[in-house]
Amino acid sequence: MKMHIVMATAEAIPFAKTGGLADVCGTLPLMLAEQGHKCSLFLPAYRRALSSHAQIIDTHISFVVEIAGKSMAARILKTSIGPAENPVDIYLVDQPLYFDRDHLYGDQHGDYRDNCERFCFFSRCVVEAIERLKIQIDIIHCHDWQAALIPAYHKTNFGNLAWYSQAASVMTIHNLAYQGRYWSHDMSLTGLDWTYFNWQQMEFYGDLNLLKTGISFADYITTVSPSYAHEIQQPMHGCGLDGTLRARADRISGIVNGVDYGVWDPSHDQHLPANFSIDNWKQGKAACKRAMQMEMGLPPSETTPMIGLIGRLAEQKGWDLVKPLLELYVDAFDAQWVILGNGEARFAHSLAELARRRPDRVAVRLEFSDPLAHRIEAASDMFLMPSRYEPCGLNQLYSLRYGTVPVVHATGGLIDTVQPFSPSGHNHSGDFNGQANGFSFLQYDLESLKECVSQAIDTYSREPQVWDTLVTHGMTQDWSWTNSALAYETAYRRARELAVTKE
């Protein structure tokens, strides 16, 4: 059965991006449309979303939401992406007071103080707009805390929705650590009855918790890798919601994000100084590495391993281990480090300091640059991702296709996508090296990270044949969206079955 899937999200490429959520929400609907489904996507009309696309039209659907003692007008704008035969309709929820700002969630002073109000407003508008646009909806697919009220509006039939009985809801958790937790008084912003403010639905230790709301009300729940789906049901990675998740364990699954090889493939990547494929990767990567050394002012060297790192400068990404690793061992490792990241000042300062101390070994760019991210993926010999936890991770998947061997902490999606090499023939996952495509370490500590990086550098320098095999495995593995989109279809079907069974 072909379905009409409506997504609600705070980010989607090419309109607004701060992380992997945008990659997923911009690509998954296109892949589902390719399978013959109809997809629509709701997004706040941020300033940058409005300036990113030329053909935005007014649907002439507008209405007022009573929120925080005010009457706030919403206007629904529309554009589309994808093929003309079956485009993905993009609906932008416009209210300049909430969304016409420089950033998505906050500025140098921290999160915007009205984030709860902004995303309550957004969620209420999505529910209302589906009604007014008369969308024939089968699935409402909500992403992360910003859209997590919608399953509650659906399940409680908020405002007598015409689409209430025909749709099922799916909640996807991209990162459980971001929950949208606000003080209890913000419950009034949701418009929902206070009876739902209890520990089994919306309340969390006296506060309002939007993600918990989505988890509690959704017909089906997904997260972005099977290992993370398991981990978040344990206290260590459950961020206080492991009990809520365990109570719904029969309706949770993990689906690894796919890669858009239209954008991330070294054979046609527009950002690279040289394109390459499995047939000529050695020459291609050597040319990209030379260009990167020039660009970053690193000494030219073909044989010195280049280690890439790209990501938000947040503790989640393992910078608290990278910092001492480099401070203590940058002189000892014969390697060049190319680092791209923006975020917390404490990490930015120490990285900049390292680059000043060893400009011949460490190059740091503290910015968000998509073209540079592509060039680093192509130029590096290995890619370091020592995340403390990682729901899925995209950069290791890009690395695999770019012949760049991932070196990772064995957690979440990194467990599901990186098969570690072991000289003994068996790795710590118990797999044979037959599928090995990288290196990983089990314990999240400096010693384990150092050992793993040393092993990768040694293998690169002393065992070129093993290295070639790891590169070949990675480059030929298929992490495209095809399988992930099929898995989402299965989740949607399951949601529809569960929606009609009595809880």
Binding site for ligand ADP (CB under 6 A): 19-20, 23, 310-312, 340-342, 368-370, 373, 392-395
Residues 6+ apart with CB under 8 A from 63: 73, 74, 125, 128, 132
Cβ atoms within 10 Å of 267's Cβ, excluding its own: 15
Start-to-end CA span in the chain (Å)? 25
> Minimal distance in Å, beta carbon 370 to ligand ADP?
5
User: Which residue, 153 or 347, has its beta carbon nearer to ligand ADP?
Assistant: 347
Helices (H), ranges, 247-344: 281-296, 319-329
CA distance 271 to 306: 19
Torsion angle, CA of 313/316/317/322, rounded to 10 degrees? 90
> Minimal distance in Å, beta carbon 102 to ligand ADP?
17
> Minimal distance in Å, beta carbon 312 to ligand ADP?
5
> Minimal distance in Å, beta carbon 17 to ligand ADP?
7
User: Which residue, 35 or 316, has its beta carbon nearer to ligand ADP?
Assistant: 316
- Residue at 396: amino acid letter: Q
> Minimal distance in Å, beta carbon 306 to ligand ADP?
17
Cβ atoms within 10 Å of 349's Cβ, excluding its own: 12
- Residue at 273: amino acid letter: P
> Minimal distance in Å, beta carbon 375 to ligand ADP?
11
b or e along 403-415 (b: 16 or more beta carbons within 10 Å of the residue's beta carbon)?
bbbbbbbbbbbbb
> Minimal distance in Å, beta carbon 440 to ligand ADP?
16
Given a contact cutoff of 8 angstroms between Cβ atoms, the answer to whether 42 and 91 are in contact is yes
CA distance 25 to 17: 10
User: Which residue, 28 or 202, has its beta carbon nearer to ligand ADP?
Assistant: 28
User: Which residue, 289 or 374, has its beta carbon nearer to ligand ADP?
Assistant: 374
User: Which residue, 138 or 260, has its beta carbon nearer to ligand ADP?
Assistant: 260
Task: Enter the tokens of residue 56.
Answer: 């935005």
User: Which residue, 35 or 369, has its beta carbon nearer to ligand ADP?
Assistant: 369
Comparing every residue's Cβ against ligand ADP, the nearest one is 20
> Minimal distance in Å, beta carbon 23 to ligand ADP?
5
User: Which residue, 20 or 284, has its beta carbon nearer to ligand ADP?
Assistant: 20
User: Which residue, 256 or 310, has its beta carbon nearer to ligand ADP?
Assistant: 310
CA distance 360 to 487: 46
- Residue at 305: amino acid letter: P
Q: Helix (H, G, I), strand (E, B), or coil: what is residue 6?
A: strand
Strands, E assignment, 224-360: 252-254, 306-310, 336-340
User: Which residue, 350 or 433, has its beta carbon nearer to ligand ADP?
Assistant: 350
> Minimal distance in Å, beta carbon 331 to ligand ADP?
26
Question: Which helix (H) or strand (E) segment is 38 a member of?
Answer: strand 38-44
